[in-house]
Structure 1
Amino acid sequence: MRTRTAAAAVLGTSVLLPLLAPAAAHADTAKGDTVFTSVAFNKKTFNVGVSTAQTVNVAATAKDGSGMQGILGAKLISSDDRIIHAYAADCTRPTPTTMKCVFRFTLDPDRGDYYDLKNSSAGTWRFTAEAVAKDRDFYDLETSARIQVKRLARLATTQAGPEPVAKGAKLTVTGALTRADWNTNAYAAHAGRSVALQFKRSGTSTYTTVKTVTSDAGGKLRTTVTASASGTWRWKSTSTSTTSGATAYGDTVTVR
């Protein structure tokens, strides 16, 4: 159990939370009947680019038969142990035995300080906090509340040509895949990724994958297909544990 600070959660107010020293990750621990009854995030996956910060809201509710003293030390910890502290919390007491706090965090790729996101930080993050009861029971939340923080991927607008094209002729389709580089605050080529080339026939609403193409060292995509019908071509990449998926704007080609 970590050393407790003075109560940081105050009924119905917004307060700055104290900065706690980094602690080694370990399993949730508890004493007595204190529990977190719910921990909810405003979303579970955050795809972060190179310049725009995103806000993570965490609503945590804790309960103890003696009543709650506070929910302390809220922070987010990345897969490489980068720590971001909650900068404020709004706390209420829905019942005599419960406390609910909404904590606010900022994910910022362009701060220029310790809290600046780095590429090594992409992946699974965990929310940690300690619920302390009036009878000194506690629940130390360490590993069970998780979110995904990913580098934002982008696909350039699909280009297909020639336009128009004769039926049965070859059609060349190109594109480019990049992703956010949090170390340099720029979008960089995402090489070696399998990207789906999809086609939607005119008059329909469903895309079908025609083939997959691997992005080259510069993130470029290029392939040829046989033109058989008018419709729209686009590129689509799937997400990984550290990088978001992406869908390119399509290019409509008329087949004559």
Structure 2
Amino acid sequence: MRIRTAATAAGGTLALLTVLAPAAHADSHKGDTTFTSVTFSKTTVNVGVSAAQSLTVVATAKDGSGISGIYGGKLVSPDARIAFPDSASCTRPSSTTMKCTWKYTLDANDTDDYADLKNSNAGTWHLDAEAAANDHDFYTLDTSKSVKVKRYAKLTATQASPEPVVKGRTLTVTGTLTRANWNTNVYAGYSAQRVALQFKKSGASTYSTVKTVTTDSTGKLKTTVTANSAGTWRWKFAGTSTTSAVTATGDSAALK
């Protein structure tokens, strides 16, 4: 994640005195200035421990007198950390509008330790930007436009044993749920999480949830089921507000 001391805006550069954002407020505006569109290239950015992830935000503002500039263009984390764009460019599609594009890099393993994502940064980030009009009207985005930035989760391949299994006998299914620890740059077991065990009967096209199992203190999953049909077993984690969803590779179990 690139955390900088200045942000590029149309018409100039805004120097910022701190990398901590003030408390978020509702959007504010004056006059007829408005943002007609704000789009994110992703609704959720899942970041692991090594590969940087990119995000592009495009915003268009309009005012009857014309837009003099769109300023800020920074992303603010739930714990008030600021990420400035790696690049910013603005155009004027018409005499009354301005369109700006900001590109960001989100990284938990940046060469600059201070720029690394930390676990406390995970959650809903909001775009902070202000459109200023030639007649001194304005519109400030504070909390209305947001994106999820989550810690990437992994599930080991599902293991169902014994294989093949005698019909009506017990089948043991195991797995492990981990997630990116942005503080240490490793994947660590995700404890106390409810994970669905799903089954797809041989010849079927969809899975159905058989039961829900809670991970232990190291993220491990283990349960038993009765093998009534041949088919494929898999684990599926729905994710949380700070952690991505993930589905494990399934394991087929035949009957004998």
State whether TM-score is above 0.5: yes
Contact 2:85 2:102 in 1 (8 A): yes
User: CA shift at 1:8, angstroms?
Assistant: 2.3
* Residue identity opposite 2:84 in structure 1: H
User: CA shift at 1:18, angstroms?
Assistant: 3.8
**Secondary structure, aligned partner of 2:120:** helix
* Residue identity opposite 2:30 in structure 1: K
Paired residues for 1:62-141 under 5 Å: 62-111=61-110, 112-141=112-141
Distance 2:245 2:9 in 1: 38
Q: Describe the superposition over 1:146-195 as per-residue Cα deviations: whole angstroms up to 9, x where unpaired.
A: 11111111100001111111101111111000001000011000001111
**Secondary structure, aligned partner of 1:228:** coil
RMSD: 1.7
Contact 2:127 2:142 in 1 (8 A): yes
* Residue identity opposite 1:167 in structure 2: K
- Residue 227 and residue 135 in structure 1: after superposition, are their counterparts in 2 closer, same or farther (change >3 A)? same
Unaligned runs of 5+ in 2: 1-5
User: CA shift at 1:250, angstroms?
Assistant: 0.3
Equivalent in the alignment of 2:154: 154
User: CA shift at 1:20, angstroms?
Assistant: 2.1
Distance 2:23 2:210 in 1: 48
- Residue 162 and residue 74 in structure 1: after superposition, are their counterparts in 2 closer, same or farther (change >3 A)? same
* Residue identity opposite 1:74 in structure 2: G
Equivalent in the alignment of 2:24: 25
Paired residues for 1:191-230 under 5 Å: 191-230=191-230
Matched, 1:143 2:131: no
**Secondary structure, aligned partner of 2:114:** coil
* Residue identity opposite 1:108 in structure 2: D
- Residue 173 and residue 6 in structure 1: after superposition, are their counterparts in 2 closer, same or farther (change >3 A)? closer
Distance 1:51 1:66 in 2: 47
Equivalent in the alignment of 1:235: 235
Contact 1:170 1:224 in 2 (8 A): yes
Q: Describe the superposition over 1:195-240 as per-residue Cα deviations: whole angstroms up to 9, x where unpaired.
A: 1111000111110111111111111111111111110000001111
**Secondary structure, aligned partner of 1:94:** strand
Give the number of aligned pairs. 247
**Secondary structure, aligned partner of 1:183:** coil
Contact 2:178 2:188 in 1 (8 A): yes
Unaligned runs of 5+ in 1: none
Task: Give the TM-score normalised by structure 1.
Answer: 0.92
Distance 2:119 2:254 in 1: 42
- Residue 44 and residue 194 in structure 1: after superposition, are their counterparts in 2 closer, same or farther (change >3 A)? same
Distance 2:50 2:7 in 1: 35
* Residue identity opposite 1:142 in structure 2: D
User: CA shift at 1:29, angstroms?
Assistant: 1.5
Q: Describe the superposition over 1:54-84 as per-residue Cα deviations: whole angstroms up to 9, x where unpaired.
A: 1111110000111111111110000000100
Equivalent in the alignment of 1:246: 246
User: CA shift at 1:43, angstroms?
Assistant: 1.4
Task: Give the TM-score normalised by structure 2.
Answer: 0.92
Distance 1:162 1:115 in 2: 48
- Residue 7 and residue 240 in structure 1: after superposition, are their counterparts in 2 closer, same or farther (change >3 A)? closer
Q: Describe the superposition over 1:120-165 as per-residue Cα deviations: whole angstroms up to 9, x where unpaired.
A: 1111110011111122221111111011111111100001111111
Paired residues for 1:9-24 under 5 Å: 9=10, 18-21=14-17, 22-24=21-23
**Secondary structure, aligned partner of 1:114:** helix
- Residue 7 and residue 153 in structure 1: after superposition, are their counterparts in 2 closer, same or farther (change >3 A)? closer
Distance 1:18 1:254 in 2: 64
Identity among equivalent pairs (%): 61
